[in-house]
Chain A
Amino acid sequence: MAARVVVNVPASAKKGDVIEIRTLAGHPMETGFRHTQTGQLIPRDIILRFSCSYNGVEVFAADLHPAIAANPLISFTTVATESGTLEFKWTGDNGFSAAHTSTLSVV
């Protein structure tokens, strides 16, 4: 299945406001520690890094690890400084890559 991501950014904010951004990425986050019923190790398949840049400047990033649940929800805050775009990027094992762009208008 193609990577599915959901991002919730307020459509507009006042300059200087702290805004909450919530992101959800569809991913199994297979830990690499589990075995199949026949005893074979299931290879690790996780998201390794998430980052968000606001008008080209990275404002938030996170390294993800095997203990994180499937379909990770990442929520963080930033200060609305100017109108522009927020670019979200997820990268992980097996060449996993997903991206999303949201626009924010600051009044």
Chain B
Amino acid sequence: MGRETRAMQDDEQTGPAVLWLLEGEELWGKNCAGCHRIEKMKGVAARFPAFDSRLRKLVNLDDRINLCRTEHQKAPAWTHESRELLSLNAFISRQSRGMPIAVELDEKTKPFIEAGRAQFEQRRGQLNLSCAQCHDDNWGKSLAGTPIPQAHPTGYPIYRLEWQGVGSLERRLRNCMIGVRAEPYAYGAEEYRVLELFLMWRARGMKLESPGVRP
């Protein structure tokens, strides 16, 4: 991450993600503040994706927000990766800035983490590359002039300069899959959830910096 990008991320007043944070704050006030206290959201984003023992599946923070809407508020779920969902997610994740990533590793989540690891190590696409081949074996080297990062999802949702907007980790994963000329999974597919969990587990202990700014 370059110096200029870091400066944009650290700019709390006029950084580009501020627009989403402000919208998220408004949505929080309208939709969530009736039940939840914002102080209680500290650390929440560091624990997702998590295993929902009632649904018996993995949910990320976006899913959790929509579950709250459909089950408790009897409101329609927000569209996948909609501006509302990204804004509210960014605002909630902002509360955990600086906290270490601490997804659960127990007998319930272990199979998902292992499934995520299998995804991470699975060669795919026309280029026949796995995530691990770049992000474990060759991080720090250059790919077409861009440094290859270690793929730690510490800043999601991120404002990506290339996107000119805020996007989710799932969008970033689709991006990488297209990059190796593989067909991305369908929106909201289980494969993304396990990969997200694996990546968060792999980055355990690293500090959250949501909403991050990335080139």
How far, in Å, is B181 (CB) from chain A's closest CB? 18
A79 an interface residue at 8 Å Cβ cutoff? Answer: no
Q: Does A64 make an interface contact (CB < 8 A)?
A: no
Asked if A1 CB lies within 8 Å of chain B CBs, one says yes
A70-B164 contact given A8-B14, A22-B14, A24-B19, CB 8 Å threshold = yes
Once the chains are docked, how many angstroms separate the CA of A69 from the CA of B13?
19
Contact residues, B1-51 vs A (CB, 8 A)? 13-16, 18-19, 22-23
Are A28 and B164 in contact, CB atoms less than 8 angstroms apart?
yes
| B23 / chain A contacts, CB cutoff of 8 Å | 1, 4
Contact of A24 among B14, B83, B161, B164 (CB under 8 A): B14
A29 within 8 Å of B by Cβ? yes
Q: A4 touching B16 by the CB < 8 A rule? A: no
Q: How many angstroms between the C-alpha atoms of A24 and B15 in the bound complex?
A: 8
Output the nearest chain A residue to B19 by Cβ-Cβ distance: A26
Indicate if the CB atoms of B161 and A69 lie closer than 8 Å: yes
Q: Are B16 and A71 in contact (CB under 8 A)?
A: yes
Tell me how far the C-beta of A4 lies from the nearest C-beta in chain B, rounded to whole angstroms: 5
- A79-B83 Cα distance, complex, nearest whole Å: 38
CA separation between A29 and B164, bound complex, in Å? 9
Asked whether A73 is an interface residue with its Cβ less than 8 Å from the other chain, the reply is yes
Q: Which residues of A contact B14 (CB under 8 A)?
A: 6, 8, 22-24, 73, 75
Distance from A79 Cβ to chain B, minimum over Cβ atoms (Å): 21
**A-binding residues in B (CB < 8 A):** 13-16, 18-19, 22-23, 83, 161, 164-165
Identify the A interface with B (CB < 8 A).
1, 4, 6, 8, 22-24, 26, 28-29, 69-71, 73, 75
Q: Knowing that A69-B161, A69-B164 are A-B contacts, what are 9 other residue pairs whose CB atoms are under 8 Å apart, sorted by A's residue number?
A: A4-B23, A22-B13, A24-B14, A24-B19, A26-B19, A28-B164, A29-B164, A70-B165, A71-B165
A-B pairs, 6 with minimum CB distance: A70-B164, A26-B19, A8-B13, A22-B14, A24-B14, A71-B16
